[in-house]
Amino acid sequence: MPKIAHVIVDVPTMQTDQPFTYLIPNDMEEAIEVGVRVDVPFGNGNRRIQGFVVDIESKQEIDNLKPIKAVLDLHPVVNDELLLLAEEMAKTTFSFKITCLQTMLPSVMRSTYKKWLVSVGDIPPHIEEEVFLGLAERDWEEIKDTPYLSELHRLRQEGAVDVRYEVTTKNKVKTMKVVQTNLPKETLQDIQSHIRKNAHQKHKLLDFFISEQTGEFSVKELVEHHDLSRQVIKEAVELGWLVQEEREVYRDPYKDRLFQQDDALVLNEEQQVALDAVSQSVSAHQNDVFLLEGITGSGKTEVYLQAISHVLEEGKTAIMLVPEISLTPQTVTRFKRRFGDKVAVLHSGLSQGEKYDEWRKIERKEAQVVVGARSAVFAPLENIGLIIIDEEHETSYKQDESPRYHARNLAIWRGDYHKCPVLLGSATPSLESRARAQKNVYQLLTLTKRASDNAILPTVSIVDMRAELKQGVTGSFSTPLLHELTERLEKKEQSVLMLNRRGYSSFMMCRDCGYVLPCPNCDISLTLHMDTKSMKCHYCGHEESIPQCCPICDSKKIRYYGTGTQKIEEELQQLLPEAKILRMDVDTTRKKGSHERLLQQFGAQEADILLGTQMIAKGLDFPNVTLVGVLNADTALNLPDFRSSERTFQLLTQVSGRAGRGDKLGKVLIQTFNPEHYAITLAKNQHYEAFYHHEMNLRRQGKYPPYYYTVQLVVSHEEEIQAAKKMHEIAKKIQSALSPQAIILGPTPKPMARMNRRYFYQTVVKYRFEENLNQVLQEILQESQKDIRSGLRVSIDMEPQHFI
Ligand code: ADP
Ligand code: ZN
Ligand code: ZN
């Protein structure tokens, strides 16, 4: 009986969001399994695209099905579990199945399409010469701008030229050439006695293989370290002295590093209680969700490590998610030391090839522990015994483009599937998670003390910048902070300074007319970058040179406003000329590996002060740091986002945790213009529970999460009026479908109303129980497909993390 495959094709539209059926040609029956990617014809003409096989069935009758053209994988790249997860993700995030499937795989596995123009019949000589250049086919990209397009179109209708599509994947396996000899020593000696004296290379090669009889040698090594030429190796292979093979190799980003094995620490009582609860759940195959609330330095990571050990002892596997930004060499080292080669690491600092190789290691069951950022939640592990999410409050766990999934929700889904627990950890849990623990949906575990005997919480003081201003301090550094910094320099201790960049940037203004240089594409001022000497837009990437004079009034009195890290660095260097300062921000960490290098330098005490943005707040563990200064604690407090207090509290608690990790007492100074704000005073004492209760009250009054769910709808178009009109239509439709208890905010233009030359309008719905919501949102998504041609785009974001 003929077999057919159900295929999800790479066309992200609503109409194509269901499987299409294709005939499986006889010679492919063996190769095609559920979960492999295939190359299939699609639509009219001979367009070819990639698709995922999601089902196979035998059919008596097949009416005119197109056959699959090629198989792109040797093994399935998504297993049954991940296929189901993709379905779930598509449904809950209002996105397309194909986008979800592609999101699960390393980016090198995304297909690229190529289009070729082929000459198949009689074509006029000028086309032959100008377009085909005497060749049989040309890359479409190279000819699409020639003036012959309409002529080519006509020739295609006449059947003289055709278009050929090609689907390729870039996931290349890296190989290396190895050689060895199968001849006995005596034979080699015999050969050697018959060759010319002056064939030096051959003698050298034979000497080598006579003395090193056994084993494989990489050609590269022989050339680089044993002074043999590629030519002589090639000849030796041709003469049958050596046999050559290709060996697959992994690009291991950690291959040159030796990790010293370390052993489990003896846990304190609180840690033990937490570990026991999790281990029991692992052994009993329970899909519990635990919330481990532990102050910074309380030994959460040690609990994670020991829980994973327990999982491995039971022959199962584990995923450990950490925020991208805290996936520092220090974190990786801790895992590599405990679990060695069992660990695969996935993060954005790896090259595409390295990522693909780590992924294959997981897929082939050579790694049992996966440590990685958000997308590691898709790690193709089987038999999962535990999923851990560290710093579970981090917003980076939610992807801010389609599919807008939250790694926490998917982790819990996988926990259900594998009947295994999920462990969420944080010093400052999200209010959503903490509230779930309150209601016993999650089980709360707490660590209240710092784990290391001699590490105690640092003393935190707040510096009132309003008072400083009254005393005539106009710069970025208060008198107390400068005093402390000077003292650290004298004692040869290190300091960390953080500039809170959220909601804030350095721009350029004309002092005569007040003109601020805007981005031509977006409603935002351009940011000054001293290292590239240019003005840049942080949203669309637009870049232009720094103006010498005002483009409006020609005045030369141009001033830079705001305090970028570069400006702060200059200011600080003037105040403390002898201090060695390291700056860490988006500009100094753009190059691969530079983040690690800066941290290593600071760890090796090559600098006195580490000055940086948010990215320094996490994961650093330097014993010699005894002072942490926060230059501007409150910039984020003024953002029109109901989570701005929560974010400020989290950030301040995190940075404070950086001081006094070793045996020296730490001090934290927080500069602020809002010294009485509860987010700041409670962070000072690391009073998470008090903050939680205070904030919950406000959320209840304001009808915000976790009391209400939220969904944000955004419509965009190049013309403002079109975006506004559509948004109003949608809002009306929602209103009529929901109960009077649902609260609809908007439609309003987004605060960043224009981005990349498009206008954005939004509506936010707050609700508790709405039976019809899913249905109406699906309808809106379906209908929006009709408007795609007119340039309208609609997106739906469940539980948006950035509210403004
Ligand atoms: P967290 O992840 O909560 O910030 P860590 O696990 O990084 O905490 O622990 C902070 C420090 O305390 C680390 O240096 C760690 O080695 C140490 N530590 C953790 N648990 C113990 C323990 N039971 N006994 C002694 N030291 C510990
Ligand atoms: Zn001007
Ligand atoms: Zn822009």
pLDDT single digits (tens) 290-332: 999 999 889 999 999 999 999 999 999 999 999 877 777 778 8
State the architecture of 3-111 in CATH terms.
Answer: 3-Layer(aba) Sandwich (3.40)
- Cα three-residue angle 257-261-266, rounded to 5 degrees: 140
Single-letter residue type at 584: M
Q: Is 299 in the pocket of ligand 1 (CB under 6 A)?
A: yes
DSSP state of 469: H
pLDDT single digits (tens) 725-774: 999 999 999 999 999 999 998 888 876 666 777 888 889 999 999 999 99
Beta pairing partners, 177: 246
Q: Is 654 in the pocket of ligand 1 (CB under 6 A)?
A: no
Q: Is 456 in the pocket of ligand 1 (CB under 6 A)?
A: no
Total Cβ atoms within 10 A of residue 82: 22
Contact 62, 24 (CB under 8 A): no
State the architecture of 459-502+564-698 in CATH terms.
Answer: 3-Layer(aba) Sandwich (3.40)
| pLDDT at 171 exceeding the cut of 90 | no
Residues of each domain in the chain carrying CATH 1.10.10? 175-248
**Residue closest by Cα to atom 20 of ligand 1:** 299
Measure the CA–CA gap between 624 and 482, rounded to whole angstroms: 19
Is 100 labelled a binding residue? no
Angle separating helix axes 300-313 and 329-339, nearest 10 degrees: 30
Measure the CA–CA gap between 554 and 561, rounded to whole angstroms: 19
Task: Give the atom of ligand 1 at the shortest distance from the alpha carbon of 266.
Answer: 23
Cα 268 to ligand 1 centroid, rounded to whole Å: 10
| pLDDT at 625 exceeding the cut of 80 | yes
Contact 518, 526 (CB under 8 A): yes
Measure the CA–CA gap between 777 and 783, rounded to whole angstroms: 10
Measure the CA–CA gap between 646 and 451, rounded to whole angstroms: 25
pLDDT single digits (tens) 11-53: 877 677 789 999 999 888 888 999 998 989 988 767 888 899 9
Is 549 labelled a binding residue? no
Cα 453 to ligand 1 centroid, rounded to whole Å: 10
Measure the CA–CA gap between 611 and 586, rounded to whole angstroms: 12
Residues of each domain in the chain carrying CATH 3.40.50.300? 269-447, 459-502+564-698
The secondary element (H helix, E strand) that includes residue 4 is strand 3-9
pLDDT single digits (tens) 115-143: 778 888 788 888 888 888 877 788 877 77
What is this structure's pTM? Answer: 0.80
The secondary element (H helix, E strand) that includes residue 93 is helix 80-93
pLDDT single digits (tens) 227-284: 888 889 999 888 889 888 877 766 666 665 556 667 788 899 999 999 999 999 999 9
| pLDDT at 577 exceeding the cut of 90 | yes
Cα 271 to ligand 1 centroid, rounded to whole Å: 10
Q: Is 297 in the pocket of ligand 1 (CB under 6 A)?
A: yes
**Residue closest by Cα to atom 19 of ligand 1:** 299
Give me the count of residues in the chain: 804
pLDDT at 504: 44
**Residue closest by Cα to atom 21 of ligand 1:** 451
**Residue closest by Cα to atom 9 of ligand 1:** 299
Matching residue, tokens 């994961």: 619
Please report which ligand is nearest the Cα atom of 292. Answer: 1
453 CB-contact burial (10 Å; exposed 0-12 / middle 13-18 / buried 19+): exposed
pLDDT at 253: 61
**Residue closest by Cα to atom 14 of ligand 1:** 452
- Residues, beta carbon < 5 Å, ion ligand 3: 519, 521-522, 537, 539-540, 542
Cα 429 to ligand 2 centroid, rounded to whole Å: 47
Total Cβ atoms within 10 A of residue 121: 10
Q: Is 375 in the pocket of ligand 1 (CB under 6 A)?
A: no
pLDDT single digits (tens) 519-559: 787 666 777 766 567 787 766 677 888 888 888 888 887 76
Is 540 labelled a binding residue? yes
CATH code linked to domain 709-798 = 3.30.70.600
Domain 175-248 falls under CATH 1.10.10 = yes
pLDDT at 560: 65
Single-letter residue type at 784: S
Q: Which of 358-372, 452-466, 659-673 has the highest mean pLDDT?
A: 358-372
Report the topology of domain 269-447: Rossmann fold (3.40.50)
pLDDT single digits (tens) 394-415: 999 999 888 999 999 999 999 9
Beta pairing partners, 447: 294
Please report which ligand is nearest the Cα atom of 539. Answer: 3
Is 420 labelled a binding residue? no
Cα 670 to ligand 1 centroid, rounded to whole Å: 25
Task: Mean pLDDT check: name the lowest of 86-100, 107-121, 362-376.
Answer: 107-121
Measure the CA–CA gap between 380 and 85, rounded to whole angstroms: 12
Please report which ligand is nearest the Cα atom of 426. Answer: 1
| pLDDT at 144 exceeding the cut of 80 | no
Is 550 labelled a binding residue? yes
Task: Mean pLDDT check: name the lowest of 75-84, 146-155, 387-396.
Answer: 146-155
**Confidence band of 433 (pLDDT split at 50, 70, 90):** very high
| pLDDT at 638 exceeding the cut of 70 | no
> Three-class SS string for 97-138?
HHHHHHHHCCHHHCEEEEEEEEECCCCCHHHHHHCCCCCCEE
Q: 525-562: buried (b, 16+ CB within 10 Å) or exposed (e) per residue?
A: bbbbbbeeeebbbeeeebeeebeeebeeeeeeebeeeb
What is the β-pairing status of strands 243-248 and 343-346?
A: unpaired
Distance set, CA 458 to CA 450, 514, 658, 666, 726 (Å): 11, 44, 9, 4, 54
Q: 297-318: buried (b, 16+ CB within 10 Å) or exposed (e) per residue?
A: bbbbbbbbbbbbbbbbeeebbb
Task: Give the atom of ligand 1 at the shortest distance from the alpha carbon of 427.
Answer: 3
Q: Which of 262, 268, 301 to mutate to test the pocket of ligand 1 (most atoms within 8 A of CB)?
A: 301
Q: 628: closest CA among 667, 582, 600?
A: 667
Is 553 labelled a binding residue? yes
Contact 527, 536 (CB under 8 A): yes
Q: Which of 266, 452, 664 to mutate to test the pocket of ligand 1 (most atoms within 8 A of CB)?
A: 452
417 CB-contact burial (10 Å; exposed 0-12 / middle 13-18 / buried 19+): middle
**Residue closest by Cα to atom 10 of ligand 1:** 297
Residues of each domain in the chain carrying CATH 3.40.1440.60? 3-111
DSSP state of 395: G
Residues of each domain in the chain carrying CATH 3.30.70.600? 709-798
Angle separating helix axes 329-339 and 594-603, nearest 10 degrees: 80
**What 3-state class would DSSP assign to 317?**
strand
Q: Is 301 in the pocket of ligand 1 (CB under 6 A)?
A: yes
Cα 540 to ligand 3 centroid, rounded to whole Å: 4
Contact 496, 581 (CB under 8 A): no
pLDDT at 503: 39
Cα 444 to ligand 3 centroid, rounded to whole Å: 44
pLDDT single digits (tens) 696-738: 999 999 889 999 999 999 999 998 899 999 999 999 999 999 9
Measure the CA–CA gap between 451 and 18, rounded to whole angstroms: 52
> Three-class SS string for 494-514?
EEEEECCCCCCCCEEEECCCC
Q: 622: closest CA among 335, 392, 297?
A: 297
Cα 19 to ligand 1 centroid, rounded to whole Å: 50
Q: Is 302 in the pocket of ligand 1 (CB under 6 A)?
A: yes
Where does residue 74 fall: left (phi above 0), alpha (psi -120 to 50 degrees), or beta otherwise? alpha
> Three-class SS string for 335-393?
HHHHHHHHEEEECCCCCHHHHHHHHHHHHCCCCCEEEECHHHHHCCCCCEEEEEEECCC
Q: Which of 265, 267, 295, 302 to mutate to test the pocket of ligand 1 (most atoms within 8 A of CB)?
A: 302
Q: Is 271 in the pocket of ligand 1 (CB under 6 A)?
A: yes
Query: How much is the mean pLDDT over the chain?
Result: 85
| pLDDT at 611 exceeding the cut of 70 | yes
Cα 758 to ligand 3 centroid, rounded to whole Å: 10
Is 519 labelled a binding residue? yes
> Three-class SS string for 734-781?
HHHHCCCCCEEEEEEEEEEEEECCEEEEEEEEEECCCCCHHHHHHHHH
